Amino acid sequence: MKKKIPKHIAIIPDGNRRWAKKHNLKPWDGHYEGAKRFEELVDEAFDLGVKSITFWGSSVDNLTKRPWREKKALLNIYEKYFKKLMADKRVFENKIKINILGKWQEQFPDRLVNLLKRGIERTKNHNKFNLNFLLAYNGDDDILTAVKKIINKKYKAEDINNEIITENLMSNVVSPIDLVIRTGVEDDPHNSAGFLMWQTQNSQLYFTNLQFPEFTANKLKMAIEDFSQRERRLGK
């Protein structure tokens, strides 16, 4: 593999429910299998030299429009995974900073909110790797949040610039993304809910028909190799 590794990868893990249906399982079984896959992908990405990974765990619709049993499964997965994550000594040895973005504090039970807050607090001074989770996140909410904050701060129109917009985003700690990977597209490559509109304006996109539980570490390696062979012109 050539050594042009993306610094920042974002993953949109589509296809968990369809994978479960294909295997005659319940929808939440697909989410549990997807959670196992994510751990594998994080390890592979950091080993390859990626510095930041952003993972879209759920949109607001995932938590408000899906059946209660499925929402409960997602919340259980988050609790189980973050407990395991915070017990993993590699998070501290490798200085992995955890960021959690979205309306999770409004959507999650207090016990889970407090667990996630502790993870953020314990890793806030880490500076080698970033692990960003988008939970109860929609991109349109992200932009609207910035607009409302800027209005409330009464900026003059001529003073508003890229830096001011960035600092007022809900996702203001997320750096520009080099590569967005979306799984489970079934030949309909698309974005959803304005996924990180500000940070993906110059991103390379990688779509695969593989549903997320089928997207292994080796498949991630292939996506990064594909990225490494592209020429990024950036308007030049």
Map residue 96 onto helix, strand or coil.
strand
The yes-or-no answer on residue 47 being catalytic is no
What's the average model confidence in pLDDT over 48-77? Answer: 92
CATH number for position 93: 3.40.1180.10
Q: Which residues pair with 54 in a beta bridge?
A: 10, 132
pLDDT in tens, 46-60: 999 999 999 999 999
Q: Does residue 44 lie within any of the structural domains?
A: yes
Hey, what are 124's tokens? Answer: 């806030």
Q: Does residue 131 lie within any of the structural domains?
A: yes
Q: Does residue 43 lie within any of the structural domains?
A: yes
Q: Does residue 81 lie within any of the structural domains?
A: yes
The yes-or-no answer on residue 132 being catalytic is no
Q: Does residue 234 lie within any of the structural domains?
A: no
Task: Single out the catalytic residue among 14, 29, 141, 178.
Answer: 14
Instruction: Give residue 142's pLDDT.
Output: 96
Q: What is the largest CA-CA distance in the chain?
A: 57
Q: Does residue 69 lie within any of the structural domains?
A: yes
Is the pLDDT at 236 greater than 70? The verdict is no
What's the average model confidence in pLDDT over 81-90? Answer: 94
Which one, of 155, 223, 205, lies nearest residue 5 by Cα? 223
Q: Does residue 3 lie within any of the structural domains?
A: no
Q: Does residue 1 lie within any of the structural domains?
A: no
pLDDT in tens, 177-217: 999 999 999 888 888 878 999 999 999 999 999 999 999 99
The number of folded domains in the chain is 1
Instruction: Give residue 18's pLDDT.
Output: 95
Task: Single out the catalytic residue among 29, 43, 47, 62.
Answer: 62
SS3 per residue for 202-216: CCEEEECCCCHHHCC
Q: Give the structural domain span for 190.
A: 8-228
What does residue 204 show for φ and ψ, rounded to 5 degrees? -85, 145
Cα–Cα distance measured from residue 196 to residue 138, given in angstroms and rounded to the nearest whole number: 8
